[in-house]
């Protein structure tokens, strides 16, 4: 296997396998360093910030007095990088005093800050390439001639150090590979990702928007997006109510003391918004999680063993203190609505309730056509039980029950020792995104700790007080993230039952057929089918093409023949052929489509 020379931030050089992830990261770090050199040479006086490589790409931050680097200038920068690579550029290691290093970048506050940040004992390690020196922060390939297959991808704005209080810099993204075919495959995957990006599709289909001027990370759901969300919410509530959940509404504000009792204030304070001082000693907090609220619902009445399992569910709004640089469309937001639920059970009821929740989750997945998922069952570390909630008997019994439930259902699963939360074992259901990435969609989490912290109890058959076990469960996560997931999975072509507009009706002639088109729409709306008539003064071909662009499941054209026969000409999304059928037959067809969640029989 061929090897390549890689320099570490301490100046040592080692040979590593070219096909390793470490070598690929070092290649991208070198390409980023070359981009810094190209920017330095082409734009005198430019200020250079971070140059970071990860497992998929690299980026370089910069700032100029005049107009920032534009996408149109990326090609010229690629040529400059090619010139550096052809000239057999080599990276050298330099150790400098902080004073000397700062002098070299006197006019660049960002480079100065990086130097001071990484200085040790008055010195700083630097990489030198061409006419620039940059702080050595990550391993880098030594010889520039390995940089052959690369591409500068895009430009974007990024706050310095990811903080909105800092200046906005220009971030240039790129990627680099050893093999040409790997680069081509990556670019193709990126194009697919761009076409599936829920932010792009959300804009094209007018589903939602986020405007940093009125609140970063706070999405506005437009009528079409709100329609899809409403369908999902009604669906999930009906499913849960049918599964014996009691749905509630609880406030988004809560006394800070509740989060101190729960432990959220101690463990998650950095993710919580600052408390609001009400002026009389009361401190209110925007809730980051719903569990303390549902605990209050449990505590509101004296509970008997006959009440258990007690299932409480809510589409609960929560707030997280996310940094501006971490926000992304609907996937990472500051305000979110969680499809949340908590069940309070006796210890003996854990296995049956766990199975019931899991069946609900899989049933929901089936309706949304989510088929690619795996199960991850997490236990405590048997060699380090001290860091978990102290009740060995409860842990052993609970883990045995969860495993038994999975086995009884005949499901394959991965057992992960040491990955349980400190308050109980859990099951994570991992789904694949449209681009093949793995993320946790659903969780079933046992909790022995919160019932103790909040002193929860029920009256047992023996007339004595007993401590319940709490089960946290999320079926589809937050509405925001689930919407992003579905948008990318469906590529914006939502199945009929979810589509914001299910039928688009186009009259051939507004004067002759507009009234009939309205009658068809009225009849469909009466059956709760989302139909609209396109009355715009545009050519019919344009209207049909736009209906396809908007990914409407059914486009109906009505003209003389349709009016005479009380029929419609039907064109399904993605198909070129039109089929004539009676209104009754079309109504029966679309009703069946909706009733079966657009699944093929």
Distance CA 485, CA 498 (A): 14
Q: Is residue 192 part of a domain?
A: no
pLDDT at 103: 87
Same structural domain for residues 439 and 505?
no
Owner of token pair 């390549």: 4
Binding-site entries for Zn(2+):
291, 342, 472
pLDDT tens per residue, range 464-480? 999 999 999 999 999 99
Distance CA 568, CA 572 (A): 12
Q: Which residues of 540-555 are buried (b: 16+ CB within 10 A; e: fewer)?
A: eeebbebbbebbbbbb
For 56, 158, 188, the CA distances from 325, given in Å and listed in that order, are 18, 7, 26
Counting every residue written for the chain, the total comes to 601
Give the up-direction half-sphere exposure of residue 488: CA atoms within 13 A in the CB hemisphere: 22
Q: Return the percentage of the chain with pLDDT > 90, whole number.
A: 58
Q: Is residue 601 part of a domain?
A: no
* 540 has pLDDT over 70: yes
Distance CA 377, CA 401 (A): 12
pLDDT tens per residue, range 476-491? 999 999 999 999 999 9
pLDDT at 325: 73
Same structural domain for residues 56 and 161?
yes
For 201, 433, 470, the CA distances from 197, given in Å and listed in that order, are 6, 11, 37
Of 163-172, 249-258, 357-366, 377-386, the one with minimum mean pLDDT is: 377-386
The beta-carbon contacts of 206-210 under 8 Å, at least 24 apart in sequence, are: 207/483, 207/487, 207/500, 208/330, 208/483, 210/327, 210/329, 210/333
pLDDT tens per residue, range 108-121? 888 888 988 888 88
Q: Which residues of 517-536 are buried (b: 16+ CB within 10 A; e: fewer)?
A: bebbbeebeeeebbbebbee
Mean of the pLDDT values across residues 31-38? 92
76: tokens are 């010229």
pLDDT at 388: 67
Of 103-112, 287-296, 364-373, 579-588, the one with minimum mean pLDDT is: 103-112
* String of DSSP letters for 449-490: HHHHHTT--EE-TTSSEEPPEEEEEEEEEEHHHHHHHHHHHH
pLDDT at 64: 87
Asked if 141 and 30 touch (Cβ cutoff 8 Å), the reply is: yes
Owner of token pair 């007095």: 65
* String of DSSP letters for 62-127: EE-SSSPP-GGGHHHHHHHHHHHHHTT-B-EEEEEEHHHHHHHTTT-HHHHHHHHHT-BTTEEEEE
Binding-site entries:
291, 342, 472
Range of the domain at 561: 496-596
pLDDT tens per residue, range 261-273? 988 888 788 888 9
Owner of token pair 């076990």: 469
Mean pLDDT of the chain: 90
**Last-in-domain residue among 441, 461, 490:** 490
Q: Is 503 helix (H, G, I), strand (E, B) or coil?
A: strand
pLDDT at 267: 79
CB proximity list for 299: less than 8 A, separation 6 or greater: 454, 456
201: tokens are 């599709």
Strands 554-558 and 335-345: unpaired
Same structural domain for residues 466 and 317?
yes
Of 224-233, 281-290, 394-403, 583-592, the one with minimum mean pLDDT is: 394-403
Asked if 153 and 173 touch (Cβ cutoff 8 Å), the reply is: yes
**Last-in-domain residue among 130, 163, 179:** 179
Distance CA 500, CA 135 (A): 52
What's the first-to-final CA gap in the chain, in angstroms? 51
Q: Is residue 448 part of a domain?
A: yes
Q: Is 273 helix (H, G, I), strand (E, B) or coil?
A: coil
pLDDT at 1: 66
Q: Is residue 185 part of a domain?
A: no
* 95 has pLDDT over 60: yes
Same structural domain for residues 484 and 543?
no
pLDDT tens per residue, range 392-405? 777 788 888 888 88
| pLDDT confidence band for 130 (50 / 70 / 90) | confident
Owner of token pair 């990318």: 488
pTM, entire model: 0.82
pLDDT tens per residue, range 188-235? 988 888 888 999 999 999 999 999 888 889 999 999 999 999 999 999
Looking at residue 554, which CATH number applies to its domain? 3.40.50.800
Distance CA 572, CA 564 (A): 23
Looking at residue 434, which CATH number applies to its domain? 3.30.930.10
Looking at residue 109, which CATH number applies to its domain? 3.30.980.10
pLDDT at 378: 87
Q: Is residue 168 part of a domain?
A: yes
pLDDT at 206: 94
* 434 has pLDDT over 90: no
Same structural domain for residues 371 and 431?
yes
Element (H, E) at 16: strand 13-17
Same structural domain for residues 476 and 579?
no
Q: Is 180 helix (H, G, I), strand (E, B) or coil?
A: helix
- Nearest 5°: phi and psi at 476? -125, 15
Same structural domain for residues 485 and 520?
no
* String of DSSP letters for 26-63: HHHHHHHHHHHHHHHHHSTT-EEEEEEE-SS-EEEEEE
Of 126-140, 176-190, 413-427, 512-526, the one with minimum mean pLDDT is: 413-427
Same structural domain for residues 462 and 542?
no
Q: Is 423 helix (H, G, I), strand (E, B) or coil?
A: coil
pLDDT at 556: 96
Same structural domain for residues 525 and 394?
no
Same structural domain for residues 430 and 554?
no
| pLDDT confidence band for 87 (50 / 70 / 90) | confident
* Longest alpha-carbon distance in the chain: 90
**Last-in-domain residue among 432, 455, 490:** 490
pLDDT at 104: 83
pLDDT at 405: 86
Asked if 61 and 171 touch (Cβ cutoff 8 Å), the reply is: yes
| pLDDT confidence band for 557 (50 / 70 / 90) | very high
- Nearest 5°: phi and psi at 123? -125, 160
Q: Is residue 195 part of a domain?
A: no
| pLDDT confidence band for 601 (50 / 70 / 90) | low
In this predicted model, which residue has the larger pLDDT, 434 or 451?
451
Same structural domain for residues 511 and 529?
yes
Of 531, 550, 539, the C-alpha closest to 508 is: 539
Same structural domain for residues 378 and 507?
no
Q: Is residue 190 part of a domain?
A: no
284 bridge partner residues: 255, 276
pLDDT at 85: 85
Q: Is residue 424 part of a domain?
A: yes
Task: Please tell me the total count of domains within the chain.
Answer: 3
């Amino acid at each position: 296997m061929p090897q390549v020379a890689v320099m570490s931030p301490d100046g040592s050089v080692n040979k590593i396998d070219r096909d390793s992830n470490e070598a690929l990261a070092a290649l991208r770090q070198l390409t980023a360093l070359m981009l810094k050199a190209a920017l330095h040479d082409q734009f005198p006086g430019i200020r250079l910030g971070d140059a970071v490589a990860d497992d998929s790409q690299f980026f370089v931050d910069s700032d100029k007095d005049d107009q920032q680097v534009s996408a149109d200038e990326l090609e010229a920068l690629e040529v400059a990088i090619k010139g550096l690579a052809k000239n057999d550029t080599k990276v050298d290691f330099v150790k400098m005093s902080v004073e000397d290093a700062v002098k070299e970048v006197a006019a660049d506050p960002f480079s100065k800050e990086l130097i001071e940040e990484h200085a040790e004992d008055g010195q700083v390690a630097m990489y030198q390439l061409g006419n620039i020196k940059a702080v050595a922060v990550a391993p880098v390939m030594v010889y520039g001639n390995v940089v052959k297959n690369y591409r500068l991808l895009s430009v974007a704005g990024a706050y310095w150090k990811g903080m909105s209080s800092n200046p906005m810099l220009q971030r240039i993204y790129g990627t680099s590979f050893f093999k040409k075919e790997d680069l081509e495959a990556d670019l193709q995957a990126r194009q697919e990702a761009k076409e599936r990006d829920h932010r792009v599709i959300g804009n094209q289909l007018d589903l939602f928007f986020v405007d940093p001027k009125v609140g970063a990370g706070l999405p506005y759901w437009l009528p079409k997006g709100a329609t899809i969300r409403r369908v999902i919410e009604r669906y999930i509530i009906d499913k849960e109510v049918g599964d014996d959940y009691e749905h509630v509404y609880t406030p988004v504000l809560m006394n800070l003391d509740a989060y101190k009792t729960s432990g959220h204030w101690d463990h998650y304070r950095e993710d919580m918004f600052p408390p609001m001082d009400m002026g009389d000693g009361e401190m209110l907090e925007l809730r980051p999680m719903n569990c303390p609220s549902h605990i209050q619902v449990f505590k509101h009445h004296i509970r008997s063993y006959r009440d258990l399992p007690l299932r409480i569910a809510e589409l609960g709004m929560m707030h997280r203190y996310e940094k501006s640089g971490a926000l992304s469309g609907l996937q990472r937001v500051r305000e979110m609505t969680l499809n949340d639920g908590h069940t309070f059970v006796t210890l003996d009821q854990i296995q049956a309730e766990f199975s019931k929740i899991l069946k609900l989750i899989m049933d929901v997945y089936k309706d949304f056509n989510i088929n690619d998922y795996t199960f991850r069952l997490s236990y405590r570390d048997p060699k380090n039980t001290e860091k978990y909630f102290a009740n060995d008997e409860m842990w052993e019994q609970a883990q045995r029950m969860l495993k038994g439930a999975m086995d009884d259902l005949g499901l394959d699963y991965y057992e992960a020792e040491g990955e349980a939360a400190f308050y109980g074992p859990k099951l994570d259901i991992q789904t694949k995104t449209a681009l093949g990435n793995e993320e946790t969609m659903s969780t079933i989490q046992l909790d022995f700790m919160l019932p103790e912290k909040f002193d929860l109890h029920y009256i047992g058959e023996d007339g004595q007080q007993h401590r319940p076990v709490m089960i946290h469960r999320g079926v589809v996560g937050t509405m925001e993230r689930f919407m992003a997931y579905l948008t990318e999975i469906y590529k914006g072509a939502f199945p009929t039952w979810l589509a914001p507009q299910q039928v688009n009706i186009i009259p051939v002639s507004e004067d002759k057929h507009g009234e009939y088109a309205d009658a068809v729409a009225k009849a469909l709306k009466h059956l709760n089918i989302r139909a609209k008539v396109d009355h715009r003064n545009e050519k019919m071909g344009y209207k049909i093409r736009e209906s396809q662009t908007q990914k409407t499941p059914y486009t109906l054209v009505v003209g003389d023949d349709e009016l005479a026969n009380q029929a419609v000409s039907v064109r399904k999304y993605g198909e070129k052929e039109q089929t004539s059928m009676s209104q009754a037959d079309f109504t029966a067809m679309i009703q069946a489509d909706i009733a079966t969640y657009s699944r093929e029989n």
